[in-house]
Amino acid sequence: MSKCKNCNVEILDETSVCPLCHSVLEQTEELENMYPDARQKTQKLMFASRLYLFCAIVLEFVLVMIDFSQESRIHWSVLVGLGLLYIYTVIRYAVIGKSGYRAKTIVLVLLAILLAVVVDFVTGYRGWSVEYVVSGGILLIDTAIMGLMILNRRNWQSYMMWQIAMILFSLVPAVLYWIEIEKNKTMAFLPLTVSVFLFLGTLIIGGRRAWQELYRRFHIS
């Protein structure tokens, strides 16, 4: 607690000058901070993430040296490096990042799908990532969007842009099937079908409110 001699008032806030006359305050007694120091917590998390990154780089360097000295058929050090990278992304984006939970969930799932595809290629490419992980991941995100819309019924229209994004992502398995990389026709077109019907259902059931959200998002008057 501080006191201003000129104004003869006591100041409860942690400040060194009087808010009235701007003169230097006299400290009368110690006052505990009334608010948690969020900045200090963030700084600790940032330091922990940087420390993890440094340790991960050192560890990956050692593993790469061991891996390539053995001349193994599968470079397992790459797989370990991908896992370390994903953990670092979770720390920086999901824990420290300021994005909403919706963006964090969808981005992390998409990143996991990408990592699965890379793992498939590193281990000799058997096609399981393209046929099942890509399509299954998109279906998982569609299911999560539907669940979030039910839980957040008052703001369900805010998920429409994510639905449009998932329609675009679900075109990937269909294109892969068209260029004969994807062999499973059902898994190739099921995500696109689910994504399109989820969007159409929201648009039809949502009615005027859904259309207004689209007009607002795309700046249509």
Q: pLDDT tens string for the chain (221 positions)?
A: 677 777 777 777 667 777 777 677 676 655 455 455 556 777 888 899 999 999 999 999 999 998 888 876 777 888 899 999 999 998 888 888 877 777 788 888 888 988 998 888 888 888 889 889 999 999 999 998 999 888 888 888 888 998 999 999 999 999 999 998 888 899 999 999 999 999 999 999 988 888 988 888 888 76
Tokens representing 80 are 């370990």
Question: What is residue 31's predicted lDDT score, i.e. its pLDDT?
Answer: 47
Listed residue (133, 49, 144, 141) closest to 87, CA to CA: 49
Distances (CA, A) of 181 to 69, 153, 175, 178: 34, 39, 9, 8
Question: What is residue 28's predicted lDDT score, i.e. its pLDDT?
Answer: 65
φ, ψ at 4 (rounded to 5°): -100, 120
Taking the C-alpha atoms of 146, 150, 151 and 156 in order, what is their torsion angle to the nearest 10 degrees? 80
C-alpha dihedral sign at 181, 184, 186, 190: negative
Is residue 182 within 8 A of residue 128, CB to CB? The reply is no
State pTM to two decimals: 0.66
Give residue limits of the domains in the chain.
1-35
Question: What is residue 29's predicted lDDT score, i.e. its pLDDT?
Answer: 55
